Structures are given as structure tokens and as C-alpha cells.
Amino acid sequence: MNEQQTVANNPVYIQAESSILEDPYQKEVQEDIWQHEKKKTMHSLFSIGFILLVATIIGYASVNALDSVYLFEIILYPVIFLGLGLFAKLQPMISVIVGIIVILAITVISYLTLGAISLIAGWLYKVIALYFIIKSVTHAIEAEKARKQLQQLG
């Protein structure tokens, strides 16, 4: 009877058990969160590229200018976001920041070439793109938090 009490009250056994369960599990969870959030950031950037592709095709088709002459202009921004999405697997926050800069550049260039009407025209795709920009920022922030936690855990 005395042997059972010493096994149950052994602090070394309890301490070793809690350290085995805590550290590797926490590190594994943070690794999983980091990988998952990077993947979600990548998919959000891919979605922005797809939205820009569809909006550009619709825009050129509406003015009957859907021709191979404009092929470069049609696929330029989607290819940029495809590259940013792939780069998000390495550096999600940098990819998102560059994506925001590209969207701002598109908006400024459109405003300078077409005037104030460009801010209103295509509002639906702009709202959808804004949603995915916000999603990509939140996923990138979560990925960075998980990366920092992994660095702290060693």
C-alpha cells in the first residue's frame, strides 16, 4: 500500500510527463498553424490574381478588344499575383505587402489614365479583391505570430 502512494506522489514522474506532453506538442501545433496560414495566404493571393484576370477579360470583352494584341495586358497582373502567391510559402507578410503595393499601383495608374470614373468603374471586383486583401493580411499576420512562437520554442 505504501508503494502505491510513493508512485502516485512522485513529483519527478509528473514533471517528466508534463514536459513530454507540453513542449513537442506546442511546437507541432505552431508548425501546423504556420504551414496552414501560409497556405491560406497563398490561396488569397491566387484569388486576387484570378479576380483581376476575370475582371480584365470582362473589361476587354465589353469593348470588343479581346485580342492577342492585349494578351500581355490581360495576364500581367494575374501572373504577378501568381508569383506573389508562390512566394507566400516563403515570406507571407512580404508577399502581402507587395500585393497591396501592386493593387495601389493599379488604382493610381487607372486613375491617372482614365480619370475619376476608374475609381467607381468595376466596383464589384474591387470589393471582392479588397475582401481577399484583408483575408491575406490576417492570414499573414497569423503566420508571422506562429513563426515567432516557433522561434521562441527553439
End-to-end CA distance of the chain: 43
Strand ranges, E, within the chain: none
Output the average pLDDT for the chain.
Answer: 84
- Spell out the residues 6+ positions from residue 85 whose beta carbon is closer than 8 angstroms to its own: 41, 42, 43, 45, 46, 49, 95
Q: How many distinct structural domains can be found in the chain?
A: 1
- Please state the pTM of the whole predicted model: 0.79
pLDDT above 50 (res 17) = no
Joined together, the cell numbers standing for residue 35 give: 504551414
**What's the rounded Cα separation, in Å, for the pair 7 and 32?**
36
pLDDT above 90 (res 8) = no
